Amino acid sequence: MTTIYTSTFEANALYIAEKLHDSEIDFLLKQVTSDSMVVYTIEIDAAYIEKANHLLQEINLDETEVHPESEGFLNGHIEWTQNMYNPGYYTGGKIPHYLYNKDVWKYLIPIFSISIIFPIVMIIIFQATFDLETMLMIGVYLFVVISMIWQLRKRKK
């Protein structure tokens, strides 16, 4: 048996082992522990070395260590755990005012009212057809306008 791959990450070794298995290459995956460091090695028979080396050249795995502090992950996680129950708090800052202000919807009532009037005017002036689709469109817009006016009147001041 010849060692063809050594990795400090178990996921990388398992990925290579899966690719070798898919290529029908017999292998042996070993976990070697030395001085509080774990290393994973893959060994194969000498008959499969050329095929396995060709397969390993096609696979590009990143073996570099990534520390959680390098990307600020732990700082962001600590911030999230401290503020996850604060309403309106996003990681990195507060919600912008245009997302926080919920009174903007009341200015949409005139737009929806005009959108109800437009098909009715088209039917009356231009003799457009009054079919099921037009009635459903007018009904939906009418329902939205009535519900918006209802919410506007019943809201807490």
Q: Which CATH class is domain 2-58?
A: alpha beta
Q: Supply the pTM of this predicted model.
A: 0.42
Give per-residue pLDDT as tens, 14-53.
888 888 888 888 888 888 887 778 888 888 888 888 888 8
Report the distance separating Cα 15 and Cα 30, nearest Å: 14
Give per-residue pLDDT as tens, 92-132.
565 555 555 566 667 777 887 787 787 778 778 877 777 88
